[in-house]
Amino acid sequence: MNRCTFVMNRWTFRGPLALALLLALAAPAFDQVGGPRTLPELKADVEERASRHAYPVSELEPAEVREALGNLKTLDRDEWASAWSAIGDRHMAKAKGASGAIAAKEYKYAFEYYLFARFPLENSPGKVKAYDKALEAFTAYAKLQDPPIEIVRIPFEGKEIVGYLRLPKGVRPAPLVLTIGGLDGRKENASFRSDAYLAHGVGYFSFDMPGTGQSTIRQVVPGAEREFTRVLDTIATRNDIDAKRVVVYGGSWGGHWAARLAYLERERIRGAVVQGGPVHEYFQPEWQKKAIGTREYLFELFEARAAIYGAKTLDEFLAYGPKMSLKTAGWLDKPSAPMLVINGMRDTQVPVEDLFLLMRSGSPKEVWINPQGGHMGRNVSISDQRIFETVTLPWVVRTLVR
């Protein structure tokens, strides 16, 4: 796969990337901006993504996706939740009537359908109910895993941080990836993906980002990364985890928190993966006015983004964002833990300029860019899973096991 590396403030090109990247540097983001999708447009896009197992329906069965879409008559949020939850209910019933690996498989399917039923956020009664069912399904799934998935509850500011910890067999203390969910993805998604680390003797600890899921901090604010500082404190107390070998991973909005921790906790972590994470330009009103109309995202992107700020109007949302800038806060020129920075040149959700800001500032970084990629670096030919398997996982393992 094409890749490039930025080391000691210079470009090093590998393979045929050089020409493609230089051409892409001058190319505008692909034309993905438009108004909200009509119901037929949404159905067609969801079905197309399911056919190639693309986000956010990569884990759903195409035939069942068509079934759910066939039951949608409007764009009503509760109707959406009901259509997908019905399939989740079916898998849940099968799981409860089975045992072992079959039950685990059905619980996982139930979780995936329930989670999509509340996509992209829990903003209606039906979606809240679907999310509760998703957590129930994942809890049942976790109990059937070997090695086990431990549901960890960490006291924090009068509440509890909830995370999922899974460690490889026969490795103690185990190196660890601390993963942070994104705007619409949750810690459960991260857990499924991170299972691949176990074969390399690496465990994972997954959490929701502030303002989402079960995070104790219900609104994104500068300093909300203290939630993960508390997690690192807890890691340091456990004999089964090697607190000196921890990497932080964050994708999309989760990448913002991974970057913050790379600066704030550089003495306690070995590195951070920032994949498609907001840094500075993302937070500017000029970008957001365009980005909230992107069709890279299925629907309700503004609603999801505004919710984590607690913003009720577009003006409130646009005014709030700049306070989250890492550049404005003076972080970028400070030393950091090693970073792997990933994205696509044609990302219409988070500007690729934020990747370049990280590259041009502070400590050396390694960079992987897909010249034809959209958000997170993915496109039709290069999936999220392929990027994980060939870029993220090798870097994390190399960083932790050396």
Question: What CATH number is attached to the domain comprising 279?
Answer: 3.40.50.1820
40: number of Cβ within 10 Å = 8
The reply to whether 334 and 187 lie within a common domain is: yes
- pLDDT above 90 (res 14): no
The reply to whether 131 and 232 lie within a common domain is: no
Q: Which residues of 108-132 are buried (b: 16+ CB within 10 A; e: fewer)?
A: bbbbbbbbbbbbbbbebebbebbbe
| Residue 114 contacts residue 88 (beta carbons within 8 Å) | yes
Amino acid letter, 373: G
Average pLDDT, the chain: 92
pLDDT, mean of residues 264-283: 98
The reply to whether 71 and 107 lie within a common domain is: yes
pLDDT, mean of residues 174-183: 98
- pLDDT above 80 (res 276): yes
Domain C-terminal end among 122, 144, 166 = 144
SS3 30: coil
The reply to whether 187 and 118 lie within a common domain is: no
- pLDDT above 90 (res 26): no
SS3 145: coil
The reply to whether 98 and 15 lie within a common domain is: no
- pLDDT above 90 (res 358): yes
Q: Which residue has the higher pLDDT, 286 or 28?
A: 286
- pLDDT above 80 (res 357): yes
User: Which pLDDT belongs to residue 34?
Assistant: 64
CA distance 317 to 28: 25
User: Which pLDDT belongs to residue 22?
Assistant: 33
Burial bucket for residue 267 (CB in 10 Å: 0-12, 13-18, 19+): exposed
Q: Quick one: DSSP state of residue 368?
A: E
Q: How many domains does the chain have?
A: 2
Give the confidence band of 146 by pLDDT, cuts at 50, 70, 90: very high
The reply to whether 153 and 268 lie within a common domain is: yes
Omega into 36 within 30° of 0, i.e. cis? Answer: no
User: Which pLDDT belongs to residue 15?
Assistant: 32
pLDDT, mean of residues 239-252: 98
Amino acid letter, 86: A
User: Which pLDDT belongs to residue 16?
Assistant: 29
The reply to whether 275 and 319 lie within a common domain is: yes
Name the nearest CA neighbour of 60 among 101, 111, 112: 112
The reply to whether 121 and 153 lie within a common domain is: no
| Residue 298 contacts residue 119 (beta carbons within 8 Å) | yes
Helical axes 62-70 vs 77-96, angle rounded to 10°: 130
Report which secondary-structure segment, H or E, holds 51: helix 39-51
Tens of pLDDT, residue by residue over 69-97, are: 999 999 999 999 999 999 999 999 999 99
pLDDT, mean of residues 48-71: 97
Ramachandran category for residue 153: left, alpha or beta (phi over 0 → left; psi -120 to 50 → alpha):
beta
Q: Which residue has the higher pLDDT, 58 or 6?
A: 58
pLDDT, mean of residues 324-330: 98
Q: Which domain holds residue 329?
A: 3-30+148-401
Name the nearest CA neighbour of 251 among 361, 373, 342, 351: 342
CA distance 204 to 247: 9
- pLDDT above 60 (res 311): yes
pTM for the structure as a whole: 0.92
The reply to whether 127 and 164 lie within a common domain is: no
User: Which pLDDT belongs to residue 149?
Assistant: 98
Give the confidence band of 25 by pLDDT, cuts at 50, 70, 90: very low
The reply to whether 274 and 318 lie within a common domain is: yes
Q: Which residue has the higher pLDDT, 278 or 33?
A: 278
Alpha helix stretches (DSSP H) within 175-239 = 187-194, 226-235
Percent of the chain with pLDDT over 70: 92
- pLDDT above 60 (res 230): yes
Q: CA 268, 272, 277: angle at the middle one, nearest 5?
A: 135
Amino acid letter, 200: H
Name the nearest CA neighbour of 25 among 359, 336, 340: 359
Give the confidence band of 284 by pLDDT, cuts at 50, 70, 90: very high
The reply to whether 102 and 181 lie within a common domain is: no
Amino acid letter, 136: E
User: Which pLDDT belongs to residue 33?
Assistant: 60
| Residue 120 contacts residue 300 (beta carbons within 8 Å) | yes
Domain C-terminal end among 144, 166, 187 = 144
Domain C-terminal end among 127, 144, 161 = 144
The upper half-sphere exposure of residue 379, i.e. CA atoms within 13 Å in the direction of its Cβ, equals 17
| Residue 199 contacts residue 171 (beta carbons within 8 Å) | no
The reply to whether 170 and 308 lie within a common domain is: yes
310: number of Cβ within 10 Å = 14
pLDDT, mean of residues 269-290: 98
